[in-house]
Amino acid sequence: MFGKILIANRGEIALRVICACKELGIRTVAVYSEADRDSLHVRFADEAVCIGPARSSESYLNVAAIISAAEITGAEAIHPGYGFLAENPKFAEVCETCKLTFIGPKPDVIRLMGDKNLARKRMAELGLPVLPGTEILASEEEALEAAARIGYPVMVKAAAGGGGKGMRIVNSADELPKLFRMAQKEAEAAFGSSDVYLEKYVASPRHIEFQVMGDHHGKVVHLGERECTIQRRHQKLLEESPSTQMDDKLRQEVGGKVVRALMEVGYTNAGTVEFLMDENRNLYFLEMNTRIQVEHPVTEMVTGLDLVKMQIQVAAGQPLEITGETVPLRGHAIECRICAEDPVTFAPSAGKISGFHVPGGTGVRVDTAAYAESIIPPYYDSLIAKLVVHGKDRAEAVQRMARALEMFIVEGISTSIPLQEKVLADADFRAGRFDTQFLKRFSRNGAGG
């Protein structure tokens, strides 16, 4: 096992990794920007190194500074968390070159699965269903020809990255040239690559993802699915497990295909395979995230496993101690992403938290690095906490989340809590009747106000 791990991230995920390391008896090194000098991950790590100014490009994305911090502190491994450098194959390669263990998949696998177009092609070859689509498109003319062949509506999608950037829904040929250029421009700005492709657009899908874990001894397992359908601007607001649309037969069928496909590509460590589900419960491969997900606590609550500890153990060469392809799911879990933003406009709400109280009680978990008098800086993602609940069934989990949201106090800034409270109270949500357009209709009806 490692003696010391550097965490190349910030906020609640850095604190989450520190917790796992402490329980494994591993010393930790935090890195921080000047804006995060007073953050909890800095306080609770065994050592901390400032790696630059507030801008992420000069700190959390500064590979040289992070590697230097690892070398001067004697760290043996780097945990990238999610975001920033977590899915950067070049960073993983630099870690290997510097004799540091990157806690994640191998660089070539990150490169393959991080390119959505290549990943779609490879997963189709390995038996996963994919939506009709194209290779990388060189021009608007190619896009128009392909869209006519696929049939409208289509989605223009960035080949690199995620988070809803570089994506545009196109309903007709008249719209396509302008939206194609917009997607290219946004993809270039966000990911440094303007490569885009087309994919058939499913108008009212569910978003289902499978959690996977692979070791260095050839074993891959899936740990059930998460429902991530409640989204705004292609970004998740609420997640749950299991999905109301899945049963044991479908879970075993799709999960088995996922496991066999990832064994073929030599997948190791944590990852998530994402699918779109149509109204007939057909699942289509969407993309893969080669890292731990924001919503991993949902899976932890229904499996009883510590996924971050498993990541570290796998990276240290230990085999997975799971018999078969999966584990039983127990009860139901829901996560709300508490974000520092206006609940109506979703505009970021940076500033000082003047009052902070997290809910507790049976089946309630809060992952956060926020506290009263802490500053939410304007430079990073707006996530400030993850509120997770577990119940014996979905009805109990929904009710538990509703009361936990009511007892969650954040003063001094705006948060997403009022919107999430209304989602939890909605009759269609409680009945499991929703798709990815749910929040748009919800806001249009005045429920987001």
Between 140-150 and 176-191, two packed helices, what is the crossing angle to 10 degrees?
A: 110
Strands (E) located in 247-363: 269-277, 283-289, 332-339, 351-352, 355-357
Nearest to 338 by CA among 388, 389, 383, 400: 383
Closest listed residue to residue 60, CA positions, set 92, 91, 89, 84 = 84
Determine how β-strand 235-241 pairs with β-strand 220-232. Answer: antiparallel
Question: Helix count (H) and strand count (E) of the chain?
Answer: 15, 20
Calpha distance 160→184 (Å, rounded): 11
Confirm whether 251 is a catalytic residue: no
Contact between 144 and 176 under an 8 Å Cβ cutoff? The reply is: yes
Give the angle 253-255-257 at the CA atoms, nearest 5°.
70
Pairing of strands 27-33, 4-7: parallel
**Residues ≥6 apart with Cβ < 8 Å to 440:** 232
Which phi-psi region, left, alpha or beta, contains residue 116 (left: φ > 0; alpha: ψ -120 to 50)?
alpha
Active-site position among 120, 206, 291, 337:
291
Beta bridge partners of 211: 272
Q: Dihedral (C-alpha) 314, 335, 208, 172: value to the nearest 10 degrees? A: -130
Just list the catalytic residues: 291
